[in-house]
Amino acid sequence: AEEALRRSETIAAIGQLASGIAHEIRNPLAGIKWAMESLRSKYPDSLDQLNMIMDELDRIDSIVGELLTLAKPHEAQHGYVHIHDVLQGVITLMTGNARKNNVSIQFVVPDTLPRIHCDPHQLKQVFINLLKNAIEAMPDGGTVRIEGLDDPRARRIVVRLTDEGTGIPEHLLQRLGQPFISTKEKGTGLGLMVTKKIVQDHHGALTFRKNDPRGTIAEVELPYDWLHTAPSTVPLGE
Ligand code: ADP
Ligand code: MG
């Protein structure tokens, strides 16, 4: 318990630090963007490059914004939220990472899915962790497909991430979600533990199965409104 306390204290401290840094980045960024605006009218010949710089500055700005909301230590916040918006935020954060690894992201999430009762910050963490694993499973690049499906009969939505990576070793499937299980040199083996905990807190289910011909399909099922739904008992690995 003492160890857990110390850990949560550390995490809170890191969160504070990160949000401090994010603010420090945002201020000069605003100055740069303002100056860029005036350059645009002065140098019409370089408009293409200037627009590109502006686009990239906007990207930095939204990434820092996403970091700020993640880092901010917050009370559990529940509300009815569009999963589309949650996932869009995740993609904002992860596009750079994906690009660097030659991974393209296919986003097939209709914005017409019903809103679900959830803590959007925590759900964001779920999909960051899953997307990160998918990207890391494809060292030579590839495609990750993110789908959002509605299951009105069961009153739940399903978010499915399909990658074309190395696949999860058979012997690990049953143990996923236990701490410190990692096949990566620099892995923490904590990502899926956190992910599983958050999904369970939302009375949802997390499953993994093989993709054909290769890779992994991760599926997150989330009830529209878990206040009125019994917790799921679907096991993690299949
Ligand atoms: P970490 O990513 O730090 O290793 P995680 O808890 O996120 O820890 O994942 C645990 C392990 O599960 C990974 O080391 C990897 O072996 C396996 N894994 C998870 N997701 C995938 C995936 N999409 N493709 C292949 N292996 C995966
Ligand atoms: Mg991971």
Q: In this predicted model, which residue has the larger pLDDT, 71 or 26?
A: 26
Of the listed ranges 1-10, 12-21, 25-34, 138-147, the least confidently predicted one is 1-10
Alpha-carbon distance 199 to 222, whole Å?
8
Alpha helices in 101-190 (DSSP H): 120-136, 170-173
Answer whether residue 180 shows pLDDT above 90.
no
pTM value? 0.77
Find the length of the chain. Answer: 238
Predicted complex ipTM: 0.99
Alpha-carbon distance 152 to 149, whole Å?
10
- pLDDT value for 104: 97
∠ at Cα 27 (126, 41), nearest 5°? 110
Residue nearest to atom 23 of ligand 1 (CA): 134
Alpha-carbon distance 107 to 165, whole Å?
18
| Cβ proximity of 158 and 219 under 8 Å | yes
- Ligand in nearest proximity to the CA of 188: 1
- Number of Cβ within 10 Å of residue 120's Cβ equals 19
| Cβ proximity of 163 and 211 under 8 Å | yes
Residue 93 in 3-state DSSP? helix
Q: In this predicted model, which residue has the larger pLDDT, 198 or 11?
A: 198
To test the pocket of ligand 1, the residue of 97, 133, 146 to mutate (highest count of ligand atoms within 8 Å of its CB) is: 133
| Cβ proximity of 206 and 197 under 8 Å | no
- Ligand in nearest proximity to the CA of 137: 1
- pLDDT value for 85: 96
* 98-142 tens-digit pLDDT: 999 999 999 999 999 999 999 998 899 999 999 999 999 999 999
* Short-list 114, 122, 136, CA closest to 218: 136
Answer whether residue 229 shows pLDDT above 90.
no
Answer whether residue 91 shows pLDDT above 90.
yes
Pocket (CB within 6 angstroms of ligand 1)? 129, 133-134, 137, 163, 165-168, 172, 176, 181-184, 187-192, 216
Residue 83, amino acid: I
DSSP state of 176: B
